[in-house]
Amino acid sequence: MKVKVAFICVANSCRSQMAEGFAKYLGSDIFEAYSAGTKLAERVNPNAVEVMKEVGIDISSHKPKLLDEIPPKVDILITMGCNVECPYIPCKLKEDWGLDDPDGKPIEEFRRTRDIIESKVKELIKRIKNNEINLD
């Protein structure tokens, strides 16, 4: 049975979309990955799409989603550091990754954020595979 992980941000246009992309690409064997926001952006940020494409992950078909478009209960809830209180979503583990929003900044900031997210997703996968996270 796969671990349901949700990456939550404000507009679901950048950080949470990149995290979902990495989780699906790197952890497809253990994750059911979702992302959503507390308010809806018009589209996924083109710079997020571009920097993910640079590492071979295509998120161009992703669309911003609201919280009610993902499962009502997940195993792991990751907030991106949006300084917004999310509505209650039942979960077994909640973490805040505290990432600055690169929106409106140079593409180098998107790359830096992408690389941090990749590292954090890899670490999350390792923790799950090594049974360092209790999801019972």
Could you confirm whether 82 is annotated as catalytic? yes
**Residue type (1 letter), 121:** V
Cβ atoms of 26 and 125 closer than 8 Å = yes
Catalytic-role residue among 3, 9, 18, 41: 9
The CATH T-level fold of domain 3-130 is Rossmann fold (3.40.50)
Q: Whole-prediction pTM value?
A: 0.95
Residue with tokens 């161009």: 60
Could you confirm whether 14 is annotated as catalytic? no
The model's confidence at residue 135, banded by pLDDT at 50, 70 and 90, is: confident
Q: Once rounded to an integer, what is the mean pLDDT over residues 48-75?
A: 96
Q: DSSP secondary structure string, 6-59?
A: EEEESSSSSHHHHHHHHHHHH-TTTEEEEEEESS--SS--HHHHHHHHHTT---
Helix (H) or strand (E) holding 3: strand 3-9
5 has a pLDDT exceeding 90: yes
The model's confidence at residue 84, banded by pLDDT at 50, 70 and 90, is: low
